[in-house]
Chains A and B, each alone.
Chain A
Amino acid sequence: MSPHRKLKPDSLNPDTPSSPQEKLKFLVFSLAVLAAPWPLAGGYLTNVLIFVGINSMLALGLNLLLGYAGQISLGQAAFFGLGAYGSGVLTTRFAMNPWLAMAVVAVSVAAFAFAVGFPVLRLKGHYLAMATLGVGVIAHIAFNETVDLTGGPSGLSGIPNLAVGSFQFDSDLKNYYLVWGFALVAVLLSLNLVDSRVGRALRAIHDSEVAARVMGVNARLLKVQVFALSALLSALAGSLYCHVMTFISPTSFSFHVSIELLTMVVIGGLGSVYGSILGALLLTLLPEMLRAFQDFDIVFYGLLLISMTIYLPGGLVRGIPALFRRLWPVRRSHA
């Protein structure tokens, strides 16, 4: 955030798809995603993995903004919610085609973020955190209060599943491939973006905005564009979420969700595309793994967050290989 305390994620782990090694990485990742439901044999974990996919898109959106452009946002839940409610309201109240609604909503949310981005991204550090948080709180209140449209706190039900012709995405397995199809495209696009001229410019802003400006980068416009892109990804995730759930209520888009996303990105690995996925995977599965501790799960959750930040400062994506390299199996059990 501030220039003398920056993170340098790129030098540690550049995700560059142009190298053959990176192409292989993406291929392996895609295959793993495609194959994942088979060993689960229709159990409920397929359903959990759908949410991992949705959270991955959200985390990816935030990571582009935070990890690459160095701009914090505590209001991502607003865009997620706008996506979900946009699709939900258009398809239930106005009987719009879900795919059309998804496109309309994604574009409008991105445009909204673009407009809001200009004043908001002028701010820095904790002021930026506060402003984005404010946007999130206002959106949450709006979902609650516009009862005629959104159903208010009791929620909006009867949202249709997505469909292509007569093929309905109405089972966990179908929804899994639907959501991860979107997520994989998002990953591929992000990898390409990061490797492009734009990506380099973003990293320049992250390192020093003034220096980037001097080099002829239109820092302000670029930041706002990334903000809009991250909103676009979040809105798409929201649309998918509402069609998978077929019911939405404002609690799913509160301040806590924004905080959880931030945690996913930092725990997974700032400035790493795969790190976002890893963070989403871990934090979505964590409650499942901690269920054995029953009421103590919240305490373990807190302890894990603290110890992972202390012992894996670069996030999972860098921490795990580093730990393997240095052969610290003892430390690893701590994390």
Chain B
Amino acid sequence: MNKLLTTTVVSFALTCLSTVALAAAPIKIGGLFAVTGPASFLGEPERNSAQMVVDEINKAGGVKGRLLELISYDTGGDASKAVQLANKLTKNDHVVAVVGPSTTGDAMAVIPIFEKAGVPLVSCAAGIKITDPVKKWVFKTAQNDSLAVARIYEQLKKEKKNKIALLTVSDAFGSSGREQLKGQASHYGIEIVTDETYAPKDTDMTAQLTKIRGSQAQAVICWGTNPGPAVVARNAKQLGLTLPLYMSHGVSSKKFIELAGDAAEGVRLPSGKVLVAELLPKSDRQKAALLAYIRDYKNHFKAEGDHFGGHAWDAVMLVKNAIEKGGDTPAGIRSQLEATRGFAGIGGVFNFSAIDHAGLTKDAFVLVEVKNKNWTLVK
């Protein structure tokens, strides 16, 4: 009897405690994503993924018994708007950490605000400038373009191709890639024989490709995001260009194959592993996370989870882990983020430190090739 009473009292007390814990105010995380505007191909999957992870975490009982709340705003890819919204998140919503923004421009514009406010920012944009030099409160989950470039150059070196042509889009994504492509070329003994660009809304790149055809190039590297590279692939086919065509991770989704159609065959690109999760060996540390992400995304949105959404998945998970270890203060989250080691996410295995807030190595990328309208690993 006594024992029963004790059990009842204890379990009652436990129930009360857990109810109290769940009733406590949720932990607020901010989100800044370019859901509309030219960078919506980044912002939309990122916002979706972030919301999805937060929902999944809450469904599983939250973090240490407290729910997470995601307050996310659309920057439209406009730096001024991003600044206003970053202010709103830090000053009015009092969030403890922010994931995003989607574009390097937005990220660079809001960094001073987070540095001043002392709120950790886990950026989903790729620009190398975001974490180089290291900023106290800023981390990022998107792989540096330099890693993607290194992957391509290694392959070219292996195939003894040392004269290449560049065709990059004249926006932040393309120009960052172009900078890296030019910067690393000499290290791999590669010579850039033509360096062409196109505007983000251009619909015909035959002029640039014709020029490339007339050059000494042995391979073409096109750096851009949909739909530009699909147009490039189609134009290359139209011109009968037989050079191997390399693209960037900017088009690493099924969408590219769909848009480019037959012209996509044989195109190679460095990609996060999410594209080829099924093909990875069991020993791969990321495989479990990748398959879970793909499954959840399909359940929630009836669409393929991509590489970009993965950046937001990683960002939210990193913040969640940091809250679990270091509590719900911005400073606590920051120091735990910096102490993150061996977190196997979608973008790669993250190892942050006081001198590295990007945390990835070039193993984060695999080289894939389009064969029969599907991705295959290039060995």
Contact = CB atoms under 8 A, between A and B. Distances in A.
Does chain A touch chain B in the assembled complex, meaning CB atoms less than 8 Å apart? Answer: yes
Interface in A120-171: 144-145, 147, 152-155, 157, 170
Contacts of B85: 44
Contacts of B35: 295
A172 B108 contact: no
A104 interface: no
A133 to B, nearest CB: 15
B79 A43 contact: no
Given A247-B79, A287-B81, A291-B73, A44 B105 contact: no
Contacts of A51: 80, 84
Q: Point out which of B127, B172, B179 has the most chain A C-beta atoms below 10 A from its C-beta.
A: B172
B83 interface: yes
Contacts of B170: 144-145, 152-153
A120 B218 CA distance: 47
A172 B87 contact: yes
Contacts of B376: none
A47 B92 CA distance: 12
B79 A245 contact: yes
A252 B78 contact: yes
Interface in B49-86: 73, 77-81, 83-85
A157 B88 contact: no
B104 interface: yes
Contacts of B77: 251
A298 B88 contact: no
A48 interface: yes
A56 interface: no
A154 B104 contact: yes
Contacts of A225: none
Given A153-B171, A153-B175, A247 B87 contact: no
A89 B179 CA distance: 19
B176 interface: yes
Interface residues of A, number: 29
B108 A155 contact: yes
- For this complex, into which size category does the number of interface residues on chain B fall? 20 to 34
Contacts of B179: 147, 154
A153 B92 contact: no
Contacts of A48: 84
A4 B88 CA distance: 48
Nearest to A54: B80
B36 A298 contact: yes
A151 B129 CA distance: 12
A152 B175 contact: yes
B349 to A, nearest CB: 27
B134 interface: no
Interface string A234-262: 00000001000111110110000000000
A44 B71 CA distance: 15
B105 A154 contact: yes
A42 interface: yes
Interface in B8-40: 35-36
A170 B172 CA distance: 27
B298 to A, nearest CB: 22
Contacts of A251: 77-79, 105
B57 to A, nearest CB: 22
A288 B73 CA distance: 11
A152 B129 CA distance: 13
Contacts of B112: 246-247
Interface string B174-192: 1110010000000000000
Contacts of B92: 43-44
Interface in B136-172: 170-172
10 contacts: A42-B91, A154-B108, A154-B176, A247-B109, A251-B77, A251-B78, A288-B84, A291-B73, A295-B35, A295-B36
